[in-house]
Chain A
Amino acid sequence: NAGVTQTPKFQVLKTGQSMTLQCAQDMNHEYMSWYRQDPGMGLRLIHYSVGAGITDQGEVPNGYNVSRSTTEDFPLRLLSAAPSQTSVYFCASSQRQGGEKLFFGSGTQLSVL
């Protein structure tokens, strides 16, 4: 059972470039979310989804887009990368929204030069 799979594990971008971070889960979870983790700040919620076709903004959504066309996939798009987006990104899922047990991917370390 793969759980939550994130790709790529590492990425270096130049300012202004765009890219998509991939996230897939095989647990048939309704709820999926993206977080960024910065030193000393804990994880901050970027966007989340409670089901296919439904997305909403979290605490720090600016500069990021998401979509949820299937239950399994929840990609995160950086439209025009900025150095402030240098961070470690985590995708997480749970059976439903409502504070259930969260399952995390292994993360993507992104550097924007």
Chain B
Amino acid sequence: KQEVTQIPAALSVPEGENLVLNCSFTDSAIYNLQWFRQDPGKGLTSLLLIQSSQREQTSGRLNASLDKSSGRSTLYIAASQPGDSATYLCAVYGQNFVFGPGTRLSVLP
């Protein structure tokens, strides 16, 4: 059974810092991986989708990498801003999506 973990569970950084969020999965037989953002009381918003054949995807200040063989993905956020404060979740797709529990990020002004 696929299991997805995210470390750390919570992270607090000052504005302007570059930061890395981690996602690990136990079964490398995945088709793709998706990173989401969730604001309090809201639904999830897809940020980046990486196919299994890709190594990374970029969108603005966000860069996500995928190392399928080691079962790891990272989400890099450059020059963090208070508006980046949210919970970030990763999900891997094999037969269905399996989600990690998320990393709660606080960016302090």
CA distance A59 to B4 in the complex (A): 14
Which chain A residue lies CB-closest to B94? A99
Within residues 33 to 56 of chain A, which ones have a CB less than 8 A from any CB in chain B?
33, 35, 40-45, 48
Chain B CB within 10 A, most for which of A48, A98, A101: A101
Give the number of A-B contacts (CB < 8 Å): 58
A42 with B49: CB separation less than 8 A: no
The answer to whether B32 and A90 touch across the interface, beta carbons within 8 angstroms, is no
Complex CA gap A99/B98 in Å reads 10
Per DSSP, chain B at the interface is: strand
Residue of B nearest to A41 (CB): B101
- With an 8 A cutoff between CB atoms, is B76 at the interface? no
Chain A residue contacts of B102, Cβ below 8 A? 42
Query: Do residues A106 and B42 form an inter-chain contact, with CB atoms below 8 A?
Result: yes
Mark each residue of chain A from 83 to 113: 1 if its CB lies under 8 Å from any CB of chain B, else 0.
0000000101000001111111111000000
Instruction: Return chain B residues, CB-CB under 8 Å to A90.
Output: 43-44
Contacts of B96 in A (CB 8 A): 33, 45, 48, 58-59
Tell me the bound Cα distance from A33 to B42 in angstroms. 17
Bitwise, B23-47 to A at CB < 8 A (1) or not (0) is: 0000000011010100001111110
Contacts of B101 in A (CB 8 A): 40-42
Count the B residues whose beta carbon is within 8 Å of the partner chain — how many? 22
A92–B34 alpha-carbon span in the complex (Å): 14
CA distance A47 to B79 in the complex (A): 39
CA of A17 to CA of B99, assembled, Å: 30
Interchain CA distance A4-B42 in the complex, whole Å: 12
A-B contact pairs, 30 of them (CB 8 A): A33-B97, A35-B99, A40-B101, A42-B4, A42-B99, A42-B101, A43-B97, A44-B99, A45-B96, A48-B96, A90-B43, A92-B43, A98-B93, A99-B32, A99-B49, A100-B49, A101-B34, A101-B46, A101-B49, A102-B34, A102-B36, A102-B44, A102-B46, A102-B97, A104-B36, A104-B43, A105-B43, A106-B41, A106-B42, A106-B43
State the A residues within 8 Å of B (CB). 4, 33, 35, 40-45, 48, 58-59, 90, 92, 98-107
